[in-house]
Amino acid sequence: MSGPYILVVDDEPDIRMLLRDVLEDEGYEVALAGSVAEAKAARRSRRPDLILLDVWMPDGDGISLLKEWNEDGSLPCPVVMISGHGNVETAVDATRLGAYDFIEKPLSIDKLVITLTNALESDRLQRENQGLRRLGTTISEPVGDSAVMNSLRDQVQRMAQHDTWVLISGEAGVGKQTFARFLHAGSARRDNPFIVVAVGSLSGQEAITELFGSEQGDRVRFGLLEQAAGGVLFLDEVAEMDLQTQGRLLHALDTQRITRIGGNQPIAVNVRVVAATKVDLAEAVHQGRFREDLYYRLNVLPLKIPPLREHPEDIPALLKHHMEHLHQQEGLPERRFQAGALERLRRYHWPGNVRELRNFVQRLMILGSGEEVTREEVERTLSGQTLGEADLGAVKLFPDLPLREAREQFERQYLIHQLERSEGNMTRLAERVGLERTHLYRKFKTLGIDPKKLKTDG
């Protein structure tokens, strides 16, 4: 794998050449720009992993350029400012606009290399932690010591040594994303991004824009394919992708080229695709809902994750893991399971699989009392855990409507219900429903939901 791609923007040719030689020796891929105009063109042609940006240039200044790139409230990659005329005010402005650091000339090469390493690592960890918060756990590898789990881990470790596409299938909640992250962590791409595409939250043109990005004049929006450069693109519930997007995605990945919406310049992409599905993709192909060529492209390395009820011997380890994790991460009081409680949970069928188990443990830790979890408490908690009596109790179904209308009605009621439970907190809501905040705002707009009005009415 090639190293991170760094764009160096500086009006002094000698400094540009020196930085290129130093950074290439460090294993980075480097592009050079000597002006604001060249910097804009270079950034448009390919998304950098990091930008080294000079403050003063012949046709503008780096602070103004930083402000333009930060227009949406966040930079697309880490930016390290460099200047021979720096002052405290300039450094403060750069930091306020999102710059990772500010380095004065003459440059200390050792300091520069350390700063770039830290900036790239900080960015990687931030993206990883965001994804793990949405996943609801920080499992580094799938938990369990059964023959089933040992076999699955062995399969994944062997798959990780190759760069082929992978299709992970299994019921909802079995941990498909956990296995995908485990695969990524063991691969040669481990130091590069793991980008999740919540396919079910996208549709039509929105999906194409989200995946391929867009550009209009100097404004560039990098799509998820570019954000995943060098790493993994994880297609969560890939069966929900519409046929048009399927075709365009397959062509882009086969040719390793994309064109942003509104753009005309082909851009190279290098990603590994890992897809997940809870439905039978072969049946979806038979019904005409999924492209046959994409199915065979995805299904080179299939990985089937069995439901939890098929390896109940892993339930005690999972209960212990989630109890310890919730205690460490959320400060919830740690408790012990009595033997009778463990036996009852081993015999429970867990229709929601590992996800349901984690939610169950969290409920016991929040609502329960005492150091030990008894069988009676388990029975009481399980009896109140049916779907109709829990999170979706206030959400109605619409069996007499056409599928599209029924889905929109359900989504509208579901999101309003979850917004109320999150007390209007969009960050909490995004984590609860498993969507990016940008996806949520688009979904609200599509469904005609006004979060501010709902908060006012409440």
Choose between 154 and 416: higher pLDDT: 154
Choose between 420 and 240: higher pLDDT: 240
Number of domains present in the structure of the chain: 4
Q: Which of 355, 385, 415 is the last residue of a domain?
A: 385
CA–CA distance, 376 with 379 (Å, rounded to integer)? 5
My answer on whether 380 and 416 are in the same domain is: no
CA–CA distance, 326 with 332 (Å, rounded to integer)? 6
With bands split at pLDDT 50, 70 and 90, how would you rate the model's confidence at 87? low
CA–CA distance, 287 with 314 (Å, rounded to integer)? 36
Instruction: Kindly report the pTM of this predicted structure.
Output: 0.69
- The answer to the question of residue 396 being in a domain is no
% of the chain surpassing 70 pLDDT: 87
Half-sphere exposure of 193 (CA within 13 A, CB side): 26
- Average pLDDT on 108-120 reads 89
My answer on whether 229 and 108 are in the same domain is: no
* Per-residue pLDDT at 247 exceeds 50: yes
Phi-psi region of 423 (alpha: psi -120 to 50; beta: other; left: phi over 0): left
CA–CA distance, 275 with 180 (Å, rounded to integer)? 8
pLDDT of residue 178: 93
* Per-residue pLDDT at 151 exceeds 60: yes
CA–CA distance, 386 with 181 (Å, rounded to integer)? 30
CATH number at residue 157: 3.40.50.300
Closest CA to 82 of 111, 115, 105, 98: 105
Do β-strands 29-33 and 50-54 pair in parallel, antiparallel, or remain unpaired? unpaired
% of the chain surpassing 90 pLDDT: 41
Tokens of 130: 């965001």
My answer on whether 40 and 101 are in the same domain is: yes
CA–CA distance, 303 with 177 (Å, rounded to integer)? 12
Strands (E), 224-307: 232-236, 257-258, 267-268, 272-277, 301-304
With bands split at pLDDT 50, 70 and 90, how would you rate the model's confidence at 150? very high
- The answer to the question of residue 189 being in a domain is yes
Measure Cα distances from 321 to 106, 144, 148, 184, 331 in Å.
51, 10, 18, 22, 14
**Residue carrying structure tokens 């150091």:** 371
- The answer to the question of residue 163 being in a domain is yes
Four-residue CA torsion sign, 135, 136, 141, 147: negative
Q: Which of 271, 306, 341 is the last residue of a domain?
A: 306
pLDDT of residue 381: 86
With bands split at pLDDT 50, 70 and 90, how would you rate the model's confidence at 390? very low
- Average pLDDT on 275-294 reads 94
Cβ(184)–Cβ(194) below 8 Å = yes
Cβ(194)–Cβ(128) below 8 Å = yes
With bands split at pLDDT 50, 70 and 90, how would you rate the model's confidence at 397? low
Closest CA to 214 of 225, 206, 222: 222
Closest CA to 226 of 276, 260, 182: 260
CA–CA distance, 51 with 68 (Å, rounded to integer)? 14
Q: CB within 8 A of 54, min separation 6: which ones?
A: 9, 10, 11, 12, 62, 81, 82, 83
My answer on whether 97 and 191 are in the same domain is: no
pLDDT of residue 394: 43
* Per-residue pLDDT at 174 exceeds 60: yes
With bands split at pLDDT 50, 70 and 90, how would you rate the model's confidence at 181? very high
- The answer to the question of residue 36 being in a domain is yes
My answer on whether 191 and 335 are in the same domain is: no
* Strand ranges of the sheet holding 272-277, from the earlier edge strand across to the other edge: 194-198, 232-236, 272-277, 166-169, 301-304
pLDDT of residue 403: 62
My answer on whether 189 and 121 are in the same domain is: no
> Three-state SS for 219?
strand
Q: Could you tell me how many helices (H) and strands (E) the chain has, helices first?
A: 20, 18
Cβ(272)–Cβ(189) below 8 Å = yes
My answer on whether 343 and 277 are in the same domain is: no
CA–CA distance, 382 with 388 (Å, rounded to integer)? 13
CATH number at residue 446: 1.10.10
Q: Judge residue 417's burial from the number of C-beta atoms within 10 Å of its C-beta, 0-12 exposed, 13-18 middle, 19 or more buried.
A: middle
With bands split at pLDDT 50, 70 and 90, how would you rate the model's confidence at 287? very high
pLDDT of residue 433: 72
Q: Which of 129, 154, 172 is the last residue of a domain?
A: 129
Mean pLDDT over the full length of the chain: 84
My answer on whether 64 and 114 are in the same domain is: yes
- The answer to the question of residue 394 being in a domain is no
CATH number at residue 114: 3.40.50.2300
My answer on whether 206 and 179 are in the same domain is: yes
- Domain range for 67: 5-129
* Per-residue pLDDT at 316 exceeds 60: yes
- Highest mean pLDDT: which range of 199-213, 276-290, 440-454: 276-290
Query: What's the chain's length in residues?
Result: 458
CATH number at residue 341: 1.10.8.60
- Out of 75-89, 349-363, 417-431, least confident range: 417-431
- The answer to the question of residue 328 being in a domain is yes
My answer on whether 112 and 11 are in the same domain is: yes
**3-42 tens-digit pLDDT:** 789 999 999 999 999 999 999 998 899 999 999 999 988 8
My answer on whether 298 and 372 are in the same domain is: no
* Per-residue pLDDT at 112 exceeds 50: yes
Cβ(375)–Cβ(338) below 8 Å = yes
- The answer to the question of residue 324 being in a domain is yes
- Average pLDDT on 235-254 reads 91
With bands split at pLDDT 50, 70 and 90, how would you rate the model's confidence at 374? very high
With bands split at pLDDT 50, 70 and 90, how would you rate the model's confidence at 317? very high
* Per-residue pLDDT at 302 exceeds 90: yes
Cβ(144)–Cβ(318) below 8 Å = yes
106: cis peptide before it, omega within 30°? yes
My answer on whether 215 and 68 are in the same domain is: no
**Residue carrying structure tokens 């999150």:** 422
